Chain A
Amino acid sequence: MAYTRSLDQLRREDEPSFGGKSASLGELLAAEIPVPPGFALSTAAYASFASDHAVAAAIAGGDADGIGDAMRGVAMPSDVRDEIAGAYAALGEPPVAVRSSAIGEDSAEATFAGQQETFLWVRGVEQVCDAVRDCWISLYSPTAVSYRARLGRDREAAMGVTIQQMVDAEISGVMFTCNPVSGDPSMVAVNASWGLGLAVVGGEVTPDDYLVSKVTREVVRAQVNDKHHEYVPDPNGRGTIRRDVEDERRTARCLNEPALAALAEVAKRVERHFGNRQDIEWAIARGQSIPEGLYLLQSRPVTGVEGPKPKPAPSSAIAAVMTTFGANVKRT
C-alpha cells in the first residue's frame, strides 16, 4: 500500500506523511479509545496528483480559481484511486467523513486556520474521491495560502486526508480536559448539543455547558441552553441538512450525569495518553447509550488556554497561614 493506511496502524511519528488528524486518531486507537474505523491517505497521494502537468502549471500560476479548475479537470491517478476504492471496500463502503489532515495541523504550535476541510456523510467511492480532491483544492484557498505564507511554509504545500466511518450522532460536542475559562486542570469542560457536531463546532447553537470533576466525575456545573437547531444526515444522499429542534428537546438537558462521567473518564485517558491538555470532538450514536455509543472523532492539543494565574508557592504552610491572618507584614 503506497498511499493508504488503516487508522489503527498510524502513530504520532506518521504525522509528516499522513498529517496530524490521521496520526492522532491512530494514537487514540492505540490507547483503546473508541474511534470510528477508517483509513488515511498520505501526502504522497497528493504529491502524485499534483505532479500532473496541468495541475503543476496551475499551482505555479498561483491563482486559486485556476488551481481549483485544473484539479477538477484532471482524473485522479489510477493507483491512488484503486487504493482508495480498496480501502473503502474493506471498510464496508459505509457513509464516511472525509477531512483534510494537514501537516502541522492539530499541533500545539499552530492550528492551520482555513485549511481544515470536512465533508460529511459521503457515500460511494466516486463521492469519496471527489471529496478527497476537494480537500486538496482547499490547500490553495486564499486563507490557507496566506496562512502558510505567514508561517513561511509555502514551498511545502502538502496534505493528508482522513476517511472515517460516519457516526449518526444523536448528541455530539466538544470537550476540553481543563476549564478553558478558568484554566482549572481538574475539570473537564463539555459542550453538547443535538445532532452532528457541526452546530457546536461552528458556533451555530449555544450548547449545553457542563463542568465535570476529573477527580470524582461529579457534575460541578450544568448550564442547559436553548439548542434551536441540529444537523442530521441528508436522507437523500451526500451531506447533511439543518433542521429545527422540536420545542420539548430544545431546552432539554442533553447529557445526564452517567454520560458526563463517562465522557470525563475518556477525556482523562486521552489527556494521559498524549501527556497534555486536549480539545476533543465526540459523538454519541443515535439510539445508543454511553459508553457503547460514544465515539471520539478528533483530539488535538488545547491552544490558547492559560492555567490559573501562577501564584508564588508559599515558603511553608505556616507562612501561608500567617498571610491569611494578615501577619506576613514586616516592620519598615
Chain B
Amino acid sequence: MASSTPALGAFPSPFSIETPPGCEGWEEMYPYYAMFDERRRDTDEPRFWFWNSMHFPVPMPAFDAICIDSPYQAVGTWQNRVFAVPPAMGIDYRIVNGYVYISGNPVTDPDQIAERADFFQKRAGHYFANWSELYGKWKDKMRALIGELEELQVPQLPKYESDEVALGEDRNTAFYELLDAYGRVLRLGDLMWQHHFEFLLLGYGAYATFAEFCKGNLPDIPDQHIAQMVAGIDVLLFRPDAELRRLAHLAIDTGVDGAFVEGRTPEQIDSELVSSESGRAWLSELEKVKDPWFNMATGDGLYHYYRSWLDDPSIPYAALIGHVNALRAGEQITRPTEELERERERLASEYEALLEQEVRGAFNELLSLSRTVFPYVEEHKFFCDYWFLTRWWNKIREFGALLAEHGFLEDGEDIFQLTRHEVASAFDELVLTWATGGRALGPAHWPPIVARRKQILERLSEWTPPPALGVTPEAVTDPMTIMLWGVTTERVQEWARQQDGGHVLNGAAASPGVVEGAARVVRSVDQVADIRDGEILVCGSTSPAWAPIFSKITATVTDVGGVMSHAAIVCREYGLPAVVGTGRATSQIRTGQRIRVDGGAGTVTLLAEE
C-alpha cells in the first residue's frame, strides 16, 4: 500500500511518500512545522531520518502529538542549551502519515565543538560529582509535581457565579479559571518533560561509556552481562510486581486464594473477597499498596490509551492469579535478590580479573559511576512515564468530559482527537458562549472532525512505515542516536539491505537462547490481552509494565531498542531470548507466522510455512 520509490540512497525520499487512500488531510492533526515541506526540501531531503518506533509505534492522535513536541523541546534544551553536548544539538522530528521520523542536528564546526566542550565539562562534571544528592532532590521535585497535578481542579461553568466571587475579594470568574487551568495542565506536562530529561543523557552516557569500555577490552562480552553488572537489584521498577507477589503470599496465608480463579475479572474477584472478613483484610492491604505502586502503566506511556494499573486493574489481577497459581504449585516466586546481588558481584569481579592489570582501575571506576547513575535510568520511567503521565492523561480526560457535557464532543475521550490548540480554541468558544449566553458553534463543528480523524488513524495504522527515509549515512556518529535508540552504522546498513526483503531479520542480541514458535504481533497496548501462552511477542518496543505477559511468552522481538532498554532487562530477568532493534519486525512478521528467535546471535528467522 505504501509507495516507496527509492530516490536517494537505499531509503525512500521523505518527499516520495504518498498518503494512503482515505487518509487525505491527515496533516491537519499535526503542527505545520512537523511536515516535510517543499519550502525546506533542499535541507530535509538529503538528511537521514529514522522512524522512532520505540516511542511512537502507531500513528499519533492529534492531542498526543504533545508528547512529541514536549520531549524534543526538553531533550534538546538539556542537550543543546544546558549541557551543550559538543557534537550534537537536539533532535528534529517530522511526521509522515502519522508516524514520527527523527534526525539529529550535528555540530560540525571544530571551534563550536570546543566552545561547547567547555560548557559540557563544567556542567556535566557538576552533575556526575553530585549525582546522588541531585537525584534525591529530583525525586522530591517529581513527587511535588505529581501532587500539584492531583490538586489541579477542572473548573465547572456554573449558571451563576458564587457569592464568594460576587461579594468576596480576589476571586476569579470561571471563564478565567477554566482557561487558566487548561493552560496550567499543559505547563505541568512541559515541566514533567523538563525533569524527565535532566539526568537522562548523562545517565545513559555514563552507562554507554562503561559498555564501550567493556567491549573494547572484552570484544565478545554479551551485552546482558554488562547490564547485569550495572543494573540495580532493588530498583523501584520491580517494586510493583514484588508487591503483587507479596499479596499473593498473603492471599494464600490468609486462605483467600480461592478467589483468584483464572478467567475471572477483577470485579468478580473483589466481590468474592468482600464477602469474608479475611478477604476484606486482604483488600485493605491491597489499597495500601496502590499508592504509589499501582501507578504502573500498561505500556511506555506516550499515548493517552496507556492507562495505569489503577485505571485498568486487569493486568495486576492477571499477575496475581499467576502468582497464586505458581505458589500453589510449590514454586518459589520471590525474586531471589540476595542471589542476584551475589551474581552481580561475581560477574564484576570475574570480568575484572580477566582484564589486563592496567585497565582494571578504569573498569572499576566506570562500573561504580554506572551504578551511581543507573537508578535514575531505571526509575525516571516510573515517576515520569507511568506515574505522572497516566494521571496527566486522566486530567485531560476531565477537560474532555467538560467539553462533552457542553456538547462540543460526543464523548470526553474524543478530546484526544483534537490538537492542544484546537482544544484551547474550543474552550475559548465555550467560555465565550457561556458568558454571553449565545449559541455555540462547537457542537456542530468538532464532532465531525473527531469522527473523520478516528477513521484516518484507523487507516494509517494499517500503513507500514519504512524504517528510515532519506539518505543512508556513511556512519552514524551522533552519540544520542546511538545511545538512546541503538541506531548504529551497522543497524542502518542492515535496514538498507533489508529494504529488498529477506528471510532473516537482524537486531541486537539482547538476551540469549533460541526459541521457535508462533509470532504474536502487538502494535498497541489493547492487543496485549490477545497474547496466548507460548507465543513469541513481536512489537515496536516493550515495556516492563507488561510484566505479567512475560510469563506467557517464550521470546521477544522488537523493532527498535538497545540492550539497555528496560524491555531487554526484563527479558533477561525472565530468561527469555530477545532480539531488539530489528527495524521492521512488526511490518515483516504476521501474527501466527512461525519464527525462530536466536537471542544470542541477534537474528530472527522467518520459517517456511508448513
Tell me the A residues contacting B by CB distance below 8 Å: 179, 182-187, 211, 213-216, 218-222, 307-308, 310-311, 313-314, 316-318, 320-332
Q: Is the CB of B117 within 8 A of A328?
A: yes
Interface string of B110-124 (1 = CB under 8 A from A): 110111111011001
User: 19 more A-B contacts (CB under 8 A) besides A219-B512, A324-B479, A331-B118?
Assistant: A179-B220, A184-B218, A184-B219, A213-B222, A218-B600, A221-B601, A222-B600, A311-B217, A311-B359, A314-B362, A317-B206, A325-B479, A326-B117, A327-B86, A327-B117, A329-B110, A329-B113, A331-B111, A331-B114
Q: Is the CB of A325 within 8 A of B220?
A: no
- Across chains A and B, which 9 residue pairs bring their CB atoms closest together, nearest first? A317-B365, A182-B219, A326-B87, A184-B220, A331-B114, A327-B120, A324-B209, A326-B86, A327-B117
Contacts of B213 in A (CB 8 A): 314, 320
Checking B87, B125, B222 against A318 with a beta-carbon cut-off of 8 angstroms, the contacting residue is: B125
Complex CA gap A323/B124 in Å reads: 12
Q: Is the CB of B218 within 8 A of A325?
A: no
Overall SS of chain A's interface: loop
Task: Take A215-B351, A216-B225, A313-B362 as given contacts and tell me if A321 and B121 are in contact as well, using a CB distance cutoff of 8 Å.
Answer: no
* B128 lies within 8 A of chain A by Cβ: yes
Checking A308, A317, A331 against B218 with a beta-carbon cut-off of 8 angstroms, the contacting residue is: A308
Nearest-neighbour CB distance to chain B for A209, whole angstroms, equals 12
Instruction: Work out how many contacts link A and B, with CB atoms closer than 8 A.
Output: 130
Q: State which residues 348-400 of B face A: CB under 8 Å.
A: 350-351, 354-356, 358-359, 361-362, 365-366, 368-369
Contacts of B483 in A (CB 8 A): 324
* B221 lies within 8 A of chain A by Cβ: yes
* B347 lies within 8 A of chain A by Cβ: yes
Nearest-neighbour CB distance to chain B for A252, whole angstroms, equals 15
Q: Is the CB of A185 within 8 A of B121?
A: no
**Chain A, residue nearest B373 (CB):** A321
Q: Is the CB of B209 within 8 A of A313?
A: no
Contacts of A179 in B (CB 8 A): 219-220
Contacts of B350 in A (CB 8 A): 214-215
Task: Take A219-B512, A317-B365 as given contacts and tell me if A183 and B219 are in contact as well, using a CB distance cutoff of 8 Å.
Answer: yes
Q: Is the CB of B221 within 8 A of A322?
A: no
Nearest-neighbour CB distance to chain B for A219, whole angstroms, equals 7
Interface string of B533-575 (1 = CB under 8 A from A): 0000000000000000000000000000000000000000000
Q: How many residues of B contact A (CB 8 A)?
A: 52
Complex CA gap A324/B124 in Å reads: 12
In the assembled complex, 16 residue pairs joining A and B whose CB atoms fall closer than 8 Å, in A order, are: A184-B218, A186-B221, A213-B221, A214-B350, A215-B347, A215-B354, A222-B600, A308-B216, A308-B218, A313-B362, A317-B365, A321-B209, A322-B120, A325-B85, A326-B88, A330-B117
Q: State which residues 117-169 of B face A: CB under 8 Å.
A: 117-118, 120-121, 124-125, 128
Contacts of A321 in B (CB 8 A): 124, 128, 202, 205-206, 209, 369
Contacts of A213 in B (CB 8 A): 221-222, 225
Complex CA gap A320/B370 in Å reads: 12
Complex CA gap A311/B346 in Å reads: 25
Task: Take A313-B362, A317-B368, A317-B369 as given contacts and tell me if A329 and B117 are in contact as well, using a CB distance cutoff of 8 Å.
Answer: yes
Q: Is the CB of A325 within 8 A of B86?
A: yes
Q: Is the CB of B512 within 8 A of A185?
A: no
Complex CA gap A93/B366 in Å reads: 59
Contacts of A310 in B (CB 8 A): 356
Complex CA gap A7/B143 in Å reads: 71
Nearest-neighbour CB distance to chain A for B509, whole angstroms, equals 9
Contacts of A325 in B (CB 8 A): 85-87, 120, 124, 205, 479
Complex CA gap A220/B226 in Å reads: 14
Nearest-neighbour CB distance to chain A for B577, whole angstroms, equals 12
Complex CA gap A331/B86 in Å reads: 12
* B208 lies within 8 A of chain A by Cβ: yes
Complex CA gap A211/B225 in Å reads: 15
Tell me the B residues contacting A by CB distance below 8 Å: 85-88, 110-111, 113-118, 120-121, 124-125, 128, 202, 205-206, 208-209, 212-213, 216-222, 225, 346-347, 350-351, 354-356, 358-359, 361-362, 365-366, 368-369, 479, 483, 512, 600-601
Q: Is the CB of A219 within 8 A of B362?
A: no
Complex CA gap A36/B479 in Å reads: 54
Q: Is the CB of A313 within 8 A of B358?
A: yes
Contacts of B218 in A (CB 8 A): 184-186, 308
Task: Take A215-B350, A317-B369, A331-B114 as given contacts and tell me if A326 and B85 are in contact as well, using a CB distance cutoff of 8 Å.
Answer: yes
Contacts of A327 in B (CB 8 A): 85-86, 116-117, 120-121, 124
Q: Is the CB of B220 within 8 A of A218?
A: no
Q: Is the CB of B124 within 8 A of A313?
A: no
Pick the most buried of A221, A328, A329, A330: most chain B CB atoms within 10 A of its CB: A329
Checking A211, A322, A330 against B114 with a beta-carbon cut-off of 8 angstroms, the contacting residue is: A330
Complex CA gap A293/B71 in Å reads: 60
Contacts of A316 in B (CB 8 A): 362, 365
Q: Is the CB of B221 within 8 A of A184?
A: yes
Q: Is the CB of A317 within 8 A of B113?
A: no
Complex CA gap A182/B216 in Å reads: 10
Checking B117, B354, B362 against A320 with a beta-carbon cut-off of 8 angstroms, the contacting residue is: B362
Contacts of A314 in B (CB 8 A): 213, 362, 366
Checking A220, A322, A332 against B222 with a beta-carbon cut-off of 8 angstroms, the contacting residue is: A220
Q: Is the CB of B120 within 8 A of A182?
A: no
Q: Is the CB of A318 within 8 A of B128?
A: yes
Q: Is the CB of A220 within 8 A of B512?
A: yes
Nearest-neighbour CB distance to chain B for A185, whole angstroms, equals 5
Nearest-neighbour CB distance to chain B for A332, whole angstroms, equals 7
Contacts of A184 in B (CB 8 A): 218-221
Nearest-neighbour CB distance to chain B for A169, whole angstroms, equals 26
Q: Is the CB of B205 within 8 A of A324?
A: yes
Q: Is the CB of B117 within 8 A of A221?
A: no
Contacts of B362 in A (CB 8 A): 313-314, 316-317, 320
Complex CA gap A218/B217 in Å reads: 19
Q: Is the CB of B220 within 8 A of A182?
A: yes
Complex CA gap A222/B509 in Å reads: 13
Nearest-neighbour CB distance to chain A for B238, whole angstroms, equals 21
Q: Is the CB of B220 within 8 A of A322?
A: no
**Chain A, residue nearest B364 (CB):** A317
Contacts of A308 in B (CB 8 A): 216-219
Complex CA gap A253/B209 in Å reads: 37
Complex CA gap A218/B599 in Å reads: 12
Nearest-neighbour CB distance to chain A for B348, whole angstroms, equals 10
Checking A216, A220, A326 against B113 with a beta-carbon cut-off of 8 angstroms, the contacting residue is: A326
Checking B86, B124, B222 against A329 with a beta-carbon cut-off of 8 angstroms, the contacting residue is: B86
Q: Is the CB of B212 within 8 A of A324?
A: yes
Contacts of B346 in A (CB 8 A): 215
